[in-house]
């Protein structure tokens, strides 16, 4: 019986055809209600018990080979038939091609990069897993500095020296360490802070930070750069600078843009004031320049930073920051027409 099974297995493996009728005839011959497999299993009952395991395995192998051969031939014939029908019928409607869409965060990030690239800013990038020096200490935030509490940090494996970066200022530190002034760069990227997730905040978000260092750089240069940005980005050039505190800049300021009060939405998002906070900025602290081996007696500079999600929420009137991370196709489809 074993020889007969092997002989049939060889015939199954060698069988080829381009006819659906022949495939069906093959199926009936081997797997039909009166086929060879049914007869072989009937004969299997009378097999010597000492050979039953070996013969049973051979029978199952033959049935599996026949089934796979039939499925393979059917699949090949169906694909060929479908392709032929598509090619031959020139009146058949074309298969629609689904257009993808850029994520709103990518759209806004690219627009910000484009705006600053027109005035000579290059793009710099750095690691998302940082060390304490680049994320804190070099930025005038030594150990135990109270301002570290402003940024709830994710540490890696309870190692206080390895962490997920809390801002892209760490990229600016690396850039200053490896490049001599004049420096004019922006650093877009993802950052992490251990914050509760809500409609207005998230533990993961994106920033773009800018840095300009040269001789005789003044606060007036910073202000004119920001006016240029707001005009290009929002079509609005009226801004105000409010005194603030950042450890790595001195003096420091919050930047507000006058959004206006033309619609009900304007009243809502500006709380009736017409002003919206969009970023922080300031003159680079001399200690930061010293930490990166840049002479503060010769050079000065300014820095600024903004959240990409916040800018996107303003531009597209998105009410909930969580929508950026849910990957809801209905939400993303709205940006198909946006370049």
Question: Is there a contact between 308 and 206 (Cβ–Cβ < 8 Å)?
Answer: yes
Residues facing residue 162 across a β-bridge: 131
Q: In this predicted structure, what is the pLDDT of residue 67?
A: 87
Q: In this predicted structure, what is the pLDDT of residue 20?
A: 84
Question: Is there a contact between 201 and 321 (Cβ–Cβ < 8 Å)?
Answer: yes
Comparing 140-144, 179-183, 251-255, 321-325, which segment has the lowest mean pLDDT?
140-144
Comparing 81-90, 206-215, 257-266, 329-338, which segment has the lowest mean pLDDT?
81-90
Paired tokens of 330: 């209905």
HEC profile for 9-57? HHHHHHCCCCCHHHHHHHHHHHHCCCCHHHHHHHHHCCCCHHHHHHHHH
Q: In this predicted structure, what is the pLDDT of residue 89?
A: 64
How far apart are alpha carbons 252 and 305 in whole angstroms? 12
- 271-316 per-position pLDDT tens digit: 899 999 999 999 999 999 999 999 999 999 999 999 999 999 888 8
Q: In this predicted structure, what is the pLDDT of residue 113?
A: 96
How far apart are alpha carbons 102 and 73 in whole angstroms? 42
- pLDDT beyond 90 at 70: no
Q: In this predicted structure, what is the pLDDT of residue 299?
A: 96
- 87-143 per-position pLDDT tens digit: 566 777 777 777 778 899 999 999 999 999 999 999 999 999 999 999 999 998 877
DSSP, res 140: T
- pLDDT beyond 70 at 147: no
Q: In this predicted structure, what is the pLDDT of residue 151?
A: 65
- pLDDT beyond 70 at 244: yes
Q: In this predicted structure, what is the pLDDT of residue 177?
A: 95
Q: In this predicted structure, what is the pLDDT of residue 339?
A: 55
Q: Is domain 104-124+183-335 given the CATH code 3.40.50.300 in the classification? A: no
Q: In this predicted structure, what is the pLDDT of residue 15?
A: 83
Comparing 210-219, 258-267, 300-309, which segment has the lowest mean pLDDT?
258-267
Q: In this predicted structure, what is the pLDDT of residue 309?
A: 93
Paired tokens of 9: 């297995």
- 2-48 per-position pLDDT tens digit: 777 778 888 878 888 878 888 888 888 878 877 887 887 777 777 77
Q: In this predicted structure, what is the pLDDT of residue 53?
A: 79
Mean pLDDT, the chain, rounded, equals 87
Give this prediction's pTM. 0.68
Range list of H helices, 120-218: 132-135, 169-178
Comparing 218-222, 268-272, 303-307, which segment has the lowest mean pLDDT?
268-272
- pLDDT beyond 80 at 264: yes
- pLDDT beyond 70 at 81: no
Q: In this predicted structure, what is the pLDDT of residue 263?
A: 85
Ranked by mean pLDDT, the top range of 72-76, 79-83, 155-159, 184-188 is 184-188
């Amino acid at each position: 019986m074993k020889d007969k099974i092997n002989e049939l297995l060889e015939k199954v493996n060698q069988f080829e055809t381009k006819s659906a009728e022949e495939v069906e005839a093959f199926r009936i011959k081997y797997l039909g209600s009166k086929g060879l497999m049914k007869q072989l299993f009937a004969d299997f009952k009378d097999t010597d018990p000492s050979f039953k395991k070996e013969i049973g395995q051979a029978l199952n192998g033959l049935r599996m080979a026949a089934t796979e051969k039939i499925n393979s031939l059917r699949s090949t014939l169906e694909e060929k038939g479908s392709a032929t029908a598509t090619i031959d019928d020139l009146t058949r409607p074309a298969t629609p091609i689904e257009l993808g869409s850029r994520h709103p965060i990518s759209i806004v990030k690219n627009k910000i990069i484009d705006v600053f690239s027109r005035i000579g800013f290059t793009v710099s990038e750095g690691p998302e897993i940082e060390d304490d020096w680049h994320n804190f200490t070099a930025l005038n935030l030594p150990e135990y500095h109270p301002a570290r509490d402003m940024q709830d940090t994710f540490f890696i494996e309870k190692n206080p020296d390895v962490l997920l970066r809390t801002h892209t200022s760490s990229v600016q530190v690396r850039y200053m360490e490896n490049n001599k002034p004049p420096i004019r760069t922006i650093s877009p990227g993802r950052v992490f802070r251990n914050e509760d997730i809500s409609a207005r905040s998230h533990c993961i978000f994106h920033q773009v930070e800018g840095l300009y260092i040269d001789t005789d750089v003044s606060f007036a240069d910073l202000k004119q750069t920001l006016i240029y940005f707001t005009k290009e980005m929002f079509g609005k050039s009226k801004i105000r600078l409010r005194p603030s505190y950042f450890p790595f800049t001195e003096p420091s300021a919050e930047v507000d843009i006058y959004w206006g009060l033309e619609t009900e939405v304007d009243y809502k998002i500006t709380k009736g004031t017409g002003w919206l906070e969009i970023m922080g900025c300031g003159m680079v602290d001399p200690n930061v320049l010293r930490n990166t081996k840049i002479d503060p007696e010769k050079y000065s500079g300014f820095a600024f930073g903004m959240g990409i999600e916040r800018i996107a929420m303003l531009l597209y009137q998105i009410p909930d920051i969580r929508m950026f991370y849910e990957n809801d196709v209905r939400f993303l489809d709205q940006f198909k027409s946006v370049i």
